[in-house]
């Protein structure tokens, strides 16, 4: 366990942290697997287990053309020698490095419009007909949450005052809340998703761990989801030079920026210990114009 801690945790320094006497550690989730993105690795664990129990060797799930979840699931299926069908919210002419990888791994891509994409019943039935396991978007559900919980329970991290994590479906943050990882405060950073049901997520977390204080924060200058302002790339490059930590444009860079702003605004209690959860997602940086990022 000591070894896991030393390779997956990194203490980072910044004048801002000194000013408020903060100890800041980063959990380097992007190092968990060479291809499968950080939290997707955790979330897939029990979904794959379920497929094995059901004796199913075909998985169907959905996502956008840069989706870390599609990418991770496609690779996991290839490794297991299973069939994989990706329901992609895009037209059939859409190109992306992520979709290229999927094709190279022999995934079957089904391109659909918004209405079809969000029709859960359709995909559940479709999966039943094909004797495949359907995984909801982002690996959501008990299986996903339990995978995150199991992972953090095995880490034996020291207690922290704050845990900070980027959110999408909220599966990861709920798994963390349900784990033995100790912290009085949980901060979820919302990466600009439209019509996000913040209240529901907060209530879900409160049910899992009533004693924890939860805050969901969104930096409106970083909207919308999947897009990013040019200055974010400069910050990502600076953080890389300073901490040797690569971040992704969709989730983790927004998390780091929101946290830095929270600290600068005096909203993080002096003398606290913080753990930032880097959830991975680096493959998505292939959407960034080449040469703009130094890593
Ligand atoms: C998918 C993803 C998230 C969101 O995780 P949820 O469990 O859906 O909340 C956060 N960060 C990265 C890098 C991701 O790929």
Contact (CB, 8 A) for 113 and 144 = no
Model confidence band, residue 283 (pLDDT cutoffs 50, 70, 90): very high
Ligand 1 pocket test: pick from 138, 139, 205, 225 the residue with the most ligand atoms within 8 Å of its Cβ: 138
Q: What is the pLDDT of residues 182-228, one digit of tens each?
A: 999 999 999 999 999 999 999 999 999 999 999 999 999 999 999 99
User: How crowded is residue 74: how many other Cβ atoms within 10 Å of its Cβ?
Assistant: 30
The residue with tokens 């496609």 is 74
Predicted pLDDT of residue 156? 86
- CA–CA dist 1, 295 (Å, integer): 29
Is the pLDDT at 76 greater than 50? The verdict is yes
Residue percentage of the chain with pLDDT more than 70: 98
Q: Which residues line ligand 1 (CB under 6 A)?
A: 37, 39-40, 68-69, 138, 166-173, 248, 251-252, 279-281
Instruction: Tell me how far the alpha carbon of residue 146 lies from the centroid of ligand 1, in angstroms.
Output: 15
Instruction: Tell me how far the alpha carbon of residue 192 lies from the centroid of ligand 1, in angstroms.
Output: 13
Predicted pLDDT of residue 205? 98
Q: Whose CA is nearest to atom 14 of ligand 1?
A: 281
- Give the nearest ligand 1 atom to 38 CA: 13
Contact (CB, 8 A) for 166 and 158 = no
Predicted pLDDT of residue 5? 54
- Mean pLDDT, residues 263-269: 98
Model confidence band, residue 16 (pLDDT cutoffs 50, 70, 90): very high
Q: What's the chain's average pLDDT? A: 96
Q: What is the pLDDT of residues 189-198, one digit of tens each?
A: 999 999 999 9
Share in percent of the chain as helix, strand, coil (round to 5): 45, 20, 35
CA 272 to chain centre: 24
Instruction: Tell me how far the alpha carbon of residue 19 lies from the centroid of ligand 1, in angstroms.
Output: 31
Is the pLDDT at 3 greater than 50? The verdict is no
- Mean pLDDT, residues 91-118: 97
Which tokens hold the place of 280? Answer: 């991975």
**Within the chain, what is the greatest distance between any pair of CA atoms?**
60
38-53 and 171-178 helices cross at what angle (nearest 10)?
80
Predicted pLDDT of residue 100? 98
Model confidence band, residue 1 (pLDDT cutoffs 50, 70, 90): very low
Q: Whose CA is nearest to atom 15 of ligand 1?
A: 281
Angstrom distances, CA of residue 20 to CA of 11, 13, 40, 266: 16, 12, 33, 8
Query: What is the layout of strands, in order, in the sheet containing 83-89?
Result: 108-112, 83-89, 58-63, 133-135
Q: Whose CA is nearest to atom 13 of ligand 1?
A: 281
Instruction: Tell me how far the alpha carbon of residue 167 lies from the centroid of ligand 1, in angstroms.
Output: 6
Q: What is the pLDDT of residues 108-160, one digit of tens each?
A: 999 999 999 999 999 999 999 999 999 999 999 999 999 999 999 999 899 99
Instruction: Tell me how far the alpha carbon of residue 68 lies from the centroid of ligand 1, in angstroms.
Output: 8
- Give the nearest ligand 1 atom to 43 CA: 7
Predicted pLDDT of residue 7? 83
- Mean pLDDT, residues 16-28: 98
Domains and CATH numbers, the chain: 6-34+142-287 (3.40.50.1100), 39-139 (3.40.50.1100)
């Amino acid at each position: 366990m000591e070894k896991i801690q030393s390779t997956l945790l990194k203490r980072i320094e910044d004048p801002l942290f000194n000013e408020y006497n903060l100890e800041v550690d980063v959990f380097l989730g992007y190092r968990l697997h060479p291809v499968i993105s950080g939290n997707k690795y955790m979330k897939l664990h029990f979904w794959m287990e379920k497929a094995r129990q059901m004796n199913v060797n075909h998985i169907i799930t959905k996502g956008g053309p840069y989706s870390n979840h599609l990418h991770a699931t496609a690779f996991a299926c290839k490794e297991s020698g299973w069939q994989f069908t990706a329901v992609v919210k895009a037209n059939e002419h859409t190109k992306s490095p992520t979709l290229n990888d999927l094709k190279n791994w022999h995934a079957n891509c089904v391109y659909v419009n918004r209405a079809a994409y969000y029709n859960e019943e359709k995909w559940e039935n479709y999966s039943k007909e094909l004797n495949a396991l359907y995984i909801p978007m982002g690996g959501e559900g008990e299986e996903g949450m339990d995978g995150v919980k199991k992972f953090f329970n095995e880490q034996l991290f020291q207690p922290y005052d704050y845990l900070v994590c980027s959110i999408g479906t909220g599966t990861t943050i709920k798994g963390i809340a349900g784990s033995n990882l100790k912290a009085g405060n949980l901060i979820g950073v919302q990466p600009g998703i439209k019509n996000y049901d913040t209240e529901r997520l907060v209530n879900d977390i409160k049910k899992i761990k009533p004693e924890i204080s939860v805050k969901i924060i969104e930096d409106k200058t970083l909207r919308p989801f999947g897009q990013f302002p040019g200055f974010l790339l400069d910050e990502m490059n600076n953080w890389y030079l300073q901490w040797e930590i690569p971040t992704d444009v969709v989730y983790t860079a927004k998390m780091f920026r929101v946290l830095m702003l929270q600290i600068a605004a005096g909203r993080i209690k002096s003398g606290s210990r913080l753990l930032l959860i880097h959830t991975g997602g680096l493959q998505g940086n292939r959407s960034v114009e080449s040469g703009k990022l130094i890593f």
